[in-house]
Structure 1
Amino acid sequence: MIGRFARGLALALGISSLAAGSLGVAPASLSAAHASAAHSATAPHAAVETGVTLSIAVDDGGRLTTQQPLMATATITNGGSVALAAGTLSLWIDDTRISTRTDLDSWLTAKDADAGARVLSSTHTERLEPGTTATVQISVPAASVGLVKNQTTAVFGVGATLSSGGSTQAMDRGSLVWSPGGANKATNLAIAVPITTPATATGLISSDDLASYTAPNGLLSRQLDGLIGHPNVAIGLDPMILASIRVLGSSAPASAIAWRQQLLGVPNDIFPLRYGDADAAGEVQSGITKLLAPTTLNWALDAANFTTPDTVGETPPATPPSTGAPTDTSTPTPTSTSGPQLPTLEKLLSWPYTMSGIVWPADNTVRAADLPVFAANGLTTTILSSANTSTGDVSTTPNAALKAGANSAVVADATISAALRQAVTSSSDAAWNQAMAEVNSQLVLIGQENGPDTRTILATLDRGWPSDAVTLPRTLSALDSAPWVASVTLPQAIAATPTPGISIKNSPEPAARVATITKLTDAEKKISAFSTILDDPSTLTGPTRVQLLSLLSVSWQNSKNDWAAATGASLKTTTTTLQSVKIIPGSPVNVASTEAPLPITIENSLKQRVNILLWASPSNGRLEIDGSTKKTVQADSRGTLIVPVKATLGNGKVKLSLSLTSPTGVSIGSPAVLPVEVHADWEGLGALVVAILLILLFGFGVVRNILRRRRERDDPPVASVPEPAEGPEEEPRG
């Protein structure tokens, strides 16, 4: 309702001419001439052109009793580029009571004049500079309100017009509930509140964020604190919050531990949302039949933080029935362990929920065909928005319970839920009062609808958070004190008698979103296959799964969250991971022998070692390769694999196709091609030449030896002439 302006500017000109008086002016009605002239003279978008907006809110959540002055707050904002001159603010009321929810909607959205308007007050407004906001407090004495003739609770339309410089600048409408006392037909109202955290893609909440969220006035603290004293409000709890606290063990922030203990003590019904508040409707519409769930959180555990078991909030084991046999009171023998026992996934997600089997998709995103798939996954009750049903086709408000064939749903009233959400997230008293005025008006009108049975309806908050520590409890307390409201629980709303004639109106999620979900789930499948190169694949598949679930969170459907950027980053990370193990291209290789080892370099950019098989396939028969080569490559490193090849006789080029697989046969990375020059015949020719040379050399030696011996045989022997014996030299004679 905030920011509703420029509606019924035709009414404004007529009223401004009547509003020159002060408080307590006599009732006046618009003439048909005034209405017609005003409607033709001013367009509904005139206030948009000037940039001036006006909102009007009756104090006390729009409730007004006898002997009580009508207090209202007008908020004027000058969003234009020029100053707004001083003017007049007129508050008016339509004396004709609003009798149906349809009439109320028509009143709040009307753009034409209302002949029954009666001016209650005219107030002078000061000059307002561009970009500034002013609030005007209006008080109308009880005697001047003029509603005492109405002896029963009733809803009336009110409005305000801002005039300046001889023209209407802005107009807004609202409503109030006249409550003179006496009996009221109360409407049974159940409320469901999600406890979630801001959209994330990490799969777990960090310790720092937990400390912030659970600190005094932190968003989780505001959600839980606001429910104190309101035990009928049902809580839909994201299990990721519990898991994020538990995986930290003894290192979890003290405020988070205290928050969890406080949650354990609330008397409210609590049911689990899906992990990360994942969007079940989107999954089913993308073709998934078995809804996704965490597979393991072991990768997030540090044994040093689990020296003492954490059992807070665990679902207690069932007590076996007594057999009457004596109880063994002896001290059990302690079980030997090698270290701290880490909690299982079941324990990390455990909580003593009072309700289960409930799925809560985003508003207006469900098809009738989705419910059987939900039910097949154990989610037998779906929380829907009434905008997702045929509720608008019936004349009165139906009960929240809905039967859709063999499936069940509980339907939240979209109009009341929207106003309630606005109240809880309001940032000012005026905004809260305006929102609560609509909530109260709607609930009063439901109670006054035809039919003997009391209606049982549901209202829900969305995946947002109270703006402060006050608005949520203030809103719930205001409802508890309203005589036209009877607080009931969610189980009571589910158990109410379904109203005949109501069915699900198919409202599938946008095709682009469903296509993105398909891309994300396909990417996860690729990661799952890729992980088979690891010693423990769950160290990769575990975080990938919970990150995917958190990316599918209903909170991402809020337009303020950039889901496209988050999913784009996730898909990019997947691509990087899939390319983290690869073959490093090498330079061309010459093979000059019949057998040669070829070194191939493999790069591993992961933070853990990988086990891979290298396969090589030659483009022709010049090379022969038997089987694959197995290698373990350490984390963040490169490894060399030796591929033994056999060359056949012949020269030529060979393209060696290289590829990697995991031990289970999953293709890893991109194939590569290694050019090889084969000269295997050089080795054979060289051996032949050497053999010939050896033969020639040996033959030459044999021939030479034969010829020498033949010469020796043909030559006659020569007689030996004895040489004279040598005697002593004689001295020369003298």
Structure 2
Amino acid sequence: MTAITPEHGFRARLRRLAGGTAVLAIALGAYTVALPSTAIAAGGSSSDDEQSIGFHVSAGLRGLVAPGSATTAMITLQNDTDSKLSGGQVQVELSKTPLTDEASVTSWLDEGEAPGDFATIGSETTAPLEADTSATATVFVPADTLSDLTPGVYPLRAELTGAKTASATDDRATAVAAAATSVLVVADSQTTQVGVLVPVTATPEGGALLSSDELAALTAPDGALTAQLDGVAGTTAVLAIDPSILTAIRVLGSSAPRSAQDWLTRLEALPNARFALQFGDADATAQAQAGLPALLQPTTLAPFLDPANFPQAPASVSSTDGPSATPGPSPSPTNTPQLPDDQELTAVEGALPRILWPDDDLGPDDLSSFTRYLGEGTTTVVSSAALGGQSAAHATLGGNDLLVTDTGLSESLSDVAAEADPLDRQRLLAEAAALLLLAEDRVAGAPLLVGLDRDENRDADALRDAISAADSIGFELSALRATPPVPAALTSQADPARATAVNELLADEGTLTAFSSILTDPQVLLSPERIRILRTLAVGSSAKSFADGVEKHRKRTTETLAAVSIPPSSTIQLLTANADLPIAVRNDLPWPVTVQLFVSPTDPRLEVTPMTETVVEANSTKRVKVPVSARVGSGEVDLRLSLYSPTGVQIHGQQEIRVAVRAEWETIGLVIFGGLAVLLITLGVIRTVRRKRHEAAEEAEAEAELEKLDEVAAEAEVSTEDEVVVEAESDAPAPTTGDKTGDGRQIE
């Protein structure tokens, strides 16, 4: 494999500064926060405001100088107060009594305690510093100052004196004293090969696989997964990849976020060596100690696939023989999408096979189990703490191949990778540099291996600093595995709590498997459940967090088993001899379920249909109608209810409801209603007859009145006519001579 080495990394600077020098000195600084002393300038008074001054020291350009040559100590001051910081005097001191082990290095950096006397190796005056700003100063260290230092780790410190902060409102001034501790590492040019293992993991918030939204956030330019690739790019770090991340992207098909697809492409293009962690980074040690015959794997990933997100499979075309054969029509896509299988979804391209990185609480039998799980040639990554401090990177135990990470150095560089603040990171880098030298002395030229913690929130620059502080140019994991192993012995003790938890989780899974028979496709429940179990067993959790995770998972299982049930019911009133009793069945699952409701009475006075099968839709409650028949007029009867799956698995335990039978009320009600109906009909008939008679009488009376009126009118009309005739006769003139009579005769 060809590794790309960054030009700005630790090793690049080593090459540029050291060149062909045989002896190197590594000096990395520490960072402290200094509070002002109670000293007061003339004419001032004590200030109650707490001030903060950041003070950091390092020697050389990230600490590389050749013994006997001149170097420069870099001082960084950061004024986080609200006042201007005056100039002061910086004095850099060195103890020529080396720190010989990890404990003494930690004691010096954490507590400021170191053996031997300190001597001044340089001093410098600092310039005034405005509020909320930072500045650097350099202290020249003469060449002859380091000439008598032999390879080792030496305490280095710097002190700031004479600086004062001035109040913005009055003439008060407060004296400031600050100190910083560091180490100066003097070492021969590095010949030890050092590799760094970087786990790449990501845990979903609550689901089995990372969701589309989570992937979009993690693979965004400022996302955590993007930072991990940025941090390892250009280094020889070995990647330990959780396949569940790749699976989460692949199951989404064309609907996966563009940034996630690009991230996957970028990961596969990196030249770094890699191997696959177990799915979900599950702990193989706990599984081996639980006596499992094989490592747990996802049951199936098919429930996570949506056919709409995958291309249709092209139709196959049968070949035709003979040069004169007429070509057939071009193949057209079929209606069946081409879905990837589980192996394609979980594959880590270019991964080295048969490597496990489990928890350290293992024993010799566990190593044999790992070989049984993965086959001959299995390599297990363990920490030196599990081997009594043996730090050589390649070891063997009982014929089992081991890769050993140095515990102290791994923890120190893990702290570096987790520290986002560049100044705070310098102190951690100083400790890592010292521990690296001490580890190289212990292994006497044998390769070293660093295993960073499982950390899903690393800063890219911090991760790169951690890797560059240790990894060797051209480091190859395959070459390390080919080196002669050193014998080792396990000193770690098995943790029975983890093995017990595995068996408990699998027992719960067995209960869920039986429960899932109510589903059309049980894997929609069982596949995510298995992945959650794997994540619960993830490596790197403390005893407390592991116990909390197991408890949380078991609580979730209990809630799932209670998701399909018969809600409590009040007494049901049965007012007829034959009726359908409504029995509620609740389904809180996100899928439809098929259940069988069994009902049996506690008294033969009530006959019921013993079993009713029904489908309850997702997240709903359905009232199942159960036919019943009462044999007696009245009484109270208890019904025993229970739910079973179509395969006979009990889903809900026996529950009783009370039925108050009032069957005679039906007859009484019918009689009453019948009597009322007859009465109402009779009253209606009587009322109708009376109304008809009344209407007939009124009509006869009206007709008589009309006849009477007609007679009166007729008589009045005759009388009027007679009067008109008489009046006409009286008014007529007497006839004259010559007139004719009415019969035509002439009157004389």
Question: TM-score by structure 1 length?
Answer: 0.69
SS class of match (1:492): helix
The residue number in structure 2 matching 1:381 is 379
Cα gap change, 1:450 to 1:573, in 2 (>3 Å): closer
Whole-angstrom CA distance in 2 between matches of 1:55 and 1:309:
63
The residue number in structure 2 matching 1:421 is 414
Whole-angstrom CA distance in 2 between matches of 1:208 and 1:100:
47
The residue number in structure 1 matching 2:657 is 674
CA positional deviation for 1:616: 2.0
Whole-angstrom CA distance in 2 between matches of 1:188 and 1:636:
59
CA positional deviation for 1:413: 0.4
1:72 aligns with 2:74: yes
Decide whether the 8 Å contact of 2:394 with 2:484 is kept in 1. yes
1:535 aligns with 2:520: yes
Question: TM-score by structure 2 length?
Answer: 0.68
Whole-angstrom CA distance in 2 between matches of 1:3 and 1:199:
36
CA positional deviation for 1:540: 1.7
The residue number in structure 2 matching 1:492 is 479
Letter in 2 for 1:241: I
Residue in structure 2 matching 1:456, options 431, 447, 450: 447
SS class of match (1:536): coil
Decide whether the 8 Å contact of 2:31 with 2:57 is kept in 1. no
Letter in 1 for 2:248: S
CA positional deviation for 1:406: 5.1
Letter in 1 for 2:157: G
The residue number in structure 1 matching 2:184 is 176
SS class of match (2:527): helix
1:635 aligns with 2:618: yes
Whole-angstrom CA distance in 1 between matches of 2:99 and 2:120:
18
Within-5 A mapping of 1:686-697: none
Whole-angstrom CA distance in 2 between matches of 1:477 and 1:494:
22
Cα gap change, 1:356 to 1:410, in 2 (>3 Å): same
1:295 aligns with 2:299: yes
Cα gap change, 1:467 to 1:634, in 2 (>3 Å): closer
1:347 aligns with 2:349: no
Decide whether the 8 Å contact of 1:581 with 1:604 is kept in 2. yes
The residue number in structure 1 matching 2:261 is 257
Residue in structure 1 matching 2:433, options 413, 417, 440: 440
Residue in structure 2 matching 1:390, options 388, 391, 405: 388
Cα gap change, 1:185 to 1:475, in 2 (>3 Å): closer
The residue number in structure 1 matching 2:534 is 549
The residue number in structure 2 matching 1:320 is none
The residue number in structure 1 matching 2:202 is 197
1:656 aligns with 2:652: no
Decide whether the 8 Å contact of 2:587 with 2:616 is kept in 1. yes
Within-5 A mapping of 1:682-721: none
Cα gap change, 1:223 to 1:589, in 2 (>3 Å): closer
Of 116-125 and 272-281, deviating more is: 116-125
Whole-angstrom CA distance in 1 between matches of 2:55 and 2:362:
36
Decide whether the 8 Å contact of 1:186 with 1:486 is kept in 2. no
Decide whether the 8 Å contact of 1:217 with 1:468 is kept in 2. no
The residue number in structure 2 matching 1:211 is 216
The residue number in structure 1 matching 2:699 is none
Decide whether the 8 Å contact of 1:299 with 1:539 is kept in 2. yes
CA positional deviation for 1:241: 1.4
Whole-angstrom CA distance in 2 between matches of 1:582 and 1:262:
49
Whole-angstrom CA distance in 2 between matches of 1:583 and 1:342:
39
Whole-angstrom CA distance in 1 between matches of 2:250 and 2:417:
30
CA positional deviation for 1:242: 1.0
CA positional deviation for 1:75: 6.3
The residue number in structure 2 matching 1:399 is 392
Whole-angstrom CA distance in 2 between matches of 1:75 and 1:514:
52
Letter in 1 for 2:65: L
Whole-angstrom CA distance in 1 between matches of 2:495 and 2:129:
46
The residue number in structure 1 matching 2:146 is 147
Decide whether the 8 Å contact of 2:204 with 2:211 is kept in 1. no
Of 295-304 and 546-555, deviating more is: 546-555
Whole-angstrom CA distance in 1 between matches of 2:29 and 2:500:
35
Letter in 1 for 2:296: L
CA positional deviation for 1:349: 1.2
Residue in structure 2 matching 1:601, options 580, 584, 587: 584
Decide whether the 8 Å contact of 2:312 with 2:336 is kept in 1. no
Return 5+ residue gaps in structure 1 as ranges.
8-12, 14-48, 311-329, 392-396, 685-734
Provide Cα deviations, 1:306-337, integer angstroms capped at 9, x if missing partner: 12679xxxxxxxxxxxxxxxxxxx99996984
Residue in structure 2 matching 1:506, options 466, 482, 493: 493
CA positional deviation for 1:100: 5.8
1:358 aligns with 2:343: no
1:234 aligns with 2:242: no
SS class of match (1:267): coil
CA positional deviation for 1:526: 3.8
The residue number in structure 2 matching 1:690 is none
Whole-angstrom CA distance in 1 between matches of 2:620 and 2:109:
68
SS class of match (2:214): helix
Decide whether the 8 Å contact of 1:201 with 1:550 is kept in 2. no
Whole-angstrom CA distance in 2 between matches of 1:399 and 1:253:
43
Cα gap change, 1:584 to 1:300, in 2 (>3 Å): same
Task: State percent identity of aligned pairs.
Answer: 32
The residue number in structure 2 matching 1:19 is none
Cα gap change, 1:534 to 1:102, in 2 (>3 Å): closer
Letter in 2 for 1:673: E
Whole-angstrom CA distance in 1 between matches of 2:443 and 2:648:
69
The residue number in structure 2 matching 1:247 is 251
CA positional deviation for 1:55: 5.5
1:610 aligns with 2:593: yes
Decide whether the 8 Å contact of 1:71 with 1:140 is kept in 2. yes
Decide whether the 8 Å contact of 2:30 with 2:424 is kept in 1. no
Letter in 2 for 1:93: L
CA positional deviation for 1:672: 2.4
Letter in 2 for 1:201: G
The residue number in structure 1 matching 2:61 is 60
Of 160-169 and 118-127, deviating more is: 160-169
Decide whether the 8 Å contact of 1:199 with 1:556 is kept in 2. no
The residue number in structure 2 matching 1:156 is 154
Return 5+ residue gaps in structure 2 as ranges.
1-27, 38-49, 165-173, 315-326, 668-748
Whole-angstrom CA distance in 1 between matches of 2:627 and 2:516:
28
Of 401-410 and 272-281, deviating more is: 401-410
Residue in structure 1 matching 2:562, options 540, 562, 579: 579
Whole-angstrom CA distance in 2 between matches of 1:419 and 1:160:
23
CA positional deviation for 1:209: 2.9
Provide Cα deviations, 1:629-650, integer angstroms capped at 9, x if missing partner: 2222233444343445566679
Decide whether the 8 Å contact of 2:364 with 2:398 is kept in 1. no
Within-5 A mapping of 1:5-16: none
SS class of match (1:159): strand
Whole-angstrom CA distance in 2 between matches of 1:114 and 1:428:
30
Decide whether the 8 Å contact of 2:94 with 2:118 is kept in 1. yes
SS class of match (1:243): helix
Cα gap change, 1:163 to 1:142, in 2 (>3 Å): closer
Whole-angstrom CA distance in 1 between matches of 2:111 and 2:312:
64
Of 251-260 and 240-249, deviating more is: 251-260
Cα gap change, 1:642 to 1:172, in 2 (>3 Å): same
CA positional deviation for 1:243: 1.0
Decide whether the 8 Å contact of 2:393 with 2:403 is kept in 1. yes
Decide whether the 8 Å contact of 1:368 with 1:506 is kept in 2. no
Letter in 2 for 1:676: V
Cα gap change, 1:128 to 1:650, in 2 (>3 Å): farther
Provide Cα deviations, 1:609-663, integer angstroms capped at 9, x if missing partner: 2111111233344445575222222334443434455666797543211010111
CA positional deviation for 1:450: 8.1
Cα gap change, 1:361 to 1:137, in 2 (>3 Å): farther
Decide whether the 8 Å contact of 2:313 with 2:333 is kept in 1. no
The residue number in structure 2 matching 1:715 is none
